[in-house]
Amino acid sequence: MTEEEILKNFKDGVNQERSLSALMDMHKQKLYWHIRRMVVDHEDSNDILQTVFIKAWKNLAKFRGESGIYTWLYRIASNECFTFLKKEKKRRTISISDEENDIGNKLRADRHFNPKEIEWKLQLAIQQLPEKQKAVFSLRYYDEMPYSKIAEILETSEGALKASYHHAVKKVQEFLTSD
């Protein structure tokens, strides 16, 4: 099933569940990892990913197709992540122990965590980035998106995104080489 067929089915009110399932099959893995890179924890990522598709279900019939569904889903996912991280930040400021909520500790808690492996070091480095840079890095480096698409998702100019990505890479490099 193509995205056009999925969209048509939603607008016509037919085969909606099958269409949603097809949409999830197309995008769930990439979206999941984008979310996971942003919020780190699997359960939080799962909640956000489910929310993204439930919101898609509720609103696809009205989708006007100004951007592709893929871009639209990424935009919802990114904004859900930003909202989640804001709430987490607020929660951390009133928590007795900041340590238990520390995002780096969430990574270290993974049963496969190995601080000597470059993949894990990179994940720790990414978590040092400000939220927006983290999103830019995730979309550009891991999802290999063109800046024009990232600009649509994050509503930032391509020039600013390029600068943001290069700042992010530089910070990652500094983190990795200082270790």
Partner 1 sequence: MNEIQQELEALNVSLPASNKAVQEVPNGYFDRVNEDVLNMIKAEAFSETLPKKMPQSIPSDYFDTFNKKVLAQVETAPEMIVHRTSKLKPWALAASIALILSIGLFTFQGTEQLSISSELAQISESDLKEYMLDNDYEFNDYIIEGQTANLHQVEEEFFEEAEGLSKDEILEYAL
Query: What's the CA gap between 62 and 83, in Å, rounded?
Result: 23
Q: Residue 88 class from Cβ within 10 Å (0-12 exposed, 13-18 middle, 19+ buried)?
A: middle
Q: Closer to partner 1 by CB, 61 or 95: give it.
A: 61
Rounded to whole angstroms, the maximal C-alpha distance in the chain is 57
Q: Which of 4, 5, 12, 25 binds partner 1 (CB under 8 A)?
A: 25
Closest Cα to residue 149, out of 77, 72, 35?
A: 72
Contacting partner 1 within 89-148 (CB under 8 A): 107, 110-114, 117-120, 122-123, 141-142
- Span interacting with partner 1, options 1-9, 76-84, 91-99, rule CB under 8 A: 76-84
Note the Cα 168 to chain centre separation in Å: 16
* Sign of the dihedral defined by the CA atoms of residues 71, 76, 80, 83, in that order: positive
Residues binding partner 1 (CB under 8 A):
17, 20-21, 24-25, 28-29, 32-33, 36-37, 40, 42, 46, 49-50, 53-55, 57-59, 61-67, 72, 75-76, 79-80, 82-83, 86-87, 107, 110-114, 117-120, 122-123, 141-142, 155, 162, 165-166, 169-170, 172-173
